């Protein structure tokens, strides 16, 4: 088992590189670790029950091997990669798995996972696609059902006090992450997109208390840095699952700074706090259903639906946007052309990349990224 550094960015990087290390260690010590997918799983419930939330991710660069016997080749390659890792035993330390019904791939993955892997505990959380008033009320009931299911599994219950404490810990984490993202605002930013990804991924694999400590360390470390004089093109990346550094590292190596994101492994999963003023469960339902993923219907034209993206662009002074989609992701791909229209209407160039997740065409990307950066440089001049 990999020995992980104790503090700061080096710890974040090592946890990023050995994602399962800490969770496995905790599992060996008798802690129950629950795997989950998507930003829509309300992990506060896990924390309230003293369960360790572990976000299941695939492995970029590792070709899908055994999963071909279980999951069709024309479906989300991220999902196939995750299932492939599960088949090879990489997630054997998990005591259970929560797969929310967020998109078609997740919906169908649940039965495949349950039938073939037979986890000790599994649950499918139905996340409404709509955002009507009744959708929130329904989702609240679904979260209550998830809580009941987990309570039965662990043989104890989470009181309101436990939940409030857990929410407070997760809100603290969100607040620290937003503070970290503030450090991407200066020109040039004092933390790179690559480093931010280490932190984000690390946080998805360890208990929330440890993540908060890590964030405090990282913030202190980054704050002590001396700003450099470099003035690189500033980019925002929008997309779905980006849990590997290949693309962001490539962009930054090519001479740009990734200063903001709109990713389900980035801002989308932590931007909003849970507001408990109207009740704990209502707060959770509202917070999670308000995540701005294309899988949830939000009425209105592009300018209304993507206004949050416009805010990010303005506040982080982005000069270009990379739209990154995973092949076969219908929900993102149905939004992408309108999203592109919207960003272009703000006067920013857009680079659209479609990826197969496991075999990213880095050579081709490099050429396209460099050409894109030249466009931005020309505008800056």
Task: State the residues that interact with other proteins by CB under 8 A.
Answer: 69-72, 74-76, 101, 103-105, 107-112, 114-116, 122-124, 126, 128-130, 132-135, 137-138, 141, 145, 294-295, 297, 299, 301-302, 325, 327-328, 330-331, 333-338, 340-341, 352, 354
Strand partners, 126: 101
Of 53, 83, 51, the closest CA to residue 66 belongs to 83
Least Cβ distance, residue 75 to other proteins (angstroms): 5
Nearer to other proteins, 83 or 365 (CB): 83
Nearer to other proteins, 147 or 234 (CB): 147
Nearer to other proteins, 132 or 379 (CB): 132
Nearer to other proteins, 146 or 214 (CB): 146
Nearer to other proteins, 215 or 329 (CB): 329
Q: State the CB neighbour count (10 A cutoff) for residue 89.
A: 8
Decide the pairing of beta strands 234-239 and 122-126. Answer: unpaired
Instruction: Find all residues with CB under 8 Å of 145, minimum gap 6, and list them.
Output: none
Classify the phi-psi angles of 89: left when phi > 0, otherwise alpha if psi is within -120 to 50, otherwise beta.
Answer: left
Task: Give CA–CA dist 200/195, Å, rounded.
Answer: 9
- Do 248 and 237 touch, CB atoms closer than 8 A? yes
Least Cβ distance, residue 334 to other proteins (angstroms): 4
Nearer to other proteins, 10 or 112 (CB): 112
Least Cβ distance, residue 130 to other proteins (angstroms): 5
Compute the CA torsion angle 277, 40, 52, 61 (nearest 10 deg): -150
Nearer to other proteins, 27 or 238 (CB): 238
Instruction: Find all residues with CB under 8 Å of 268, minimum gap 6, and list them.
Output: 39, 262, 291, 292, 293
Least Cβ distance, residue 91 to other proteins (angstroms): 19
Task: Give CA–CA dist 248/258, Å, rounded.
Answer: 7
Least Cβ distance, residue 322 to other proteins (angstroms): 15
Least Cβ distance, residue 90 to other proteins (angstroms): 21
Token pair belonging to 340: 């592109």
Least Cβ distance, residue 313 to other proteins (angstroms): 20
């Amino acid at each position: 088992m990999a020995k992980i550094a104790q503090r700061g960015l080096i710890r974040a990087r090592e946890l990023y590189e050995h994602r399962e290390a800490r969770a496995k260690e905790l599992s060996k010590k008798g802690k129950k670790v629950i795997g989950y997918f998507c930003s829509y799983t309300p992990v506060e419930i896990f924390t309230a029950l003293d369960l360790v939330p572990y976000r299941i991710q695939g492995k970029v660069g590792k070709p899908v091997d055994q999963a071909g016997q279980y999951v069709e080749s024309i479906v989300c390659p991220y999902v196939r990669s995750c299932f492939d890792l599960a088949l090879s035993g990489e997630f054997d330390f998990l005591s259970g798995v929560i797969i929310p019904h967020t998109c078609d791939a997740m919906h169908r993955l649940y039965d495949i996972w349950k039938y073939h892997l037979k986890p000790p505990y599994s649950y499918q959380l139905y996340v409404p696609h709509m955002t009507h008033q009744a959708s929130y009320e329904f989702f609240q009931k679904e979260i209550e059902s998830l809580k009941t299911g987990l309570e039965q599994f662990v043989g104890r219950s989470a009181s309101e006090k436990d939940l409030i404490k857990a929410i407070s810990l997760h809100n603290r984490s969100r607040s620290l992450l937003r503070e970290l993202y503030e450090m991407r605002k200066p020109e040039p930013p004092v933390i790179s997109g690559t480093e931010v990804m280490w932190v984000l991924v690390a946080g998805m694999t360890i208990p929330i208390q440890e993540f908060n400590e890590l964030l405090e360390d990282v913030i202190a470390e980054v704050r002590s840095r001396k700003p450099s004089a470099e003035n690189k093109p500033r980019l925002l990346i929008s997309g779905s699952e980006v849990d590997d550094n290949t693309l962001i590292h490539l962009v930054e190596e090519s001479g740009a700074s990734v200063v903001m994101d709109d990713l389900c492994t980035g801002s989308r999963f932590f931007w909003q706090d849970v507001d408990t003023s109207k009740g704990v469960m209502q707060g959770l339902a509202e917070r999670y259903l308000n995540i701005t993923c294309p899988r949830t219907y939000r009425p209105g034209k592009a300018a209304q639906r993507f206004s949050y993206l416009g805010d990010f662009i303005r506040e982080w002074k982005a000069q270009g946007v990379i739209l990154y989609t995973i092949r076969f992701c219908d929900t993102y791909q149905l939004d992408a052309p309108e999203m592109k229209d919207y960003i272009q209407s703000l006067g920013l160039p857009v680079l659209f990349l479609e990826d197969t997740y496991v075999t990213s065409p880095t050579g081709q990307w490099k050429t396209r990224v460099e050409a894109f950066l030249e466009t931005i440089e020309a505008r800056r001049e």
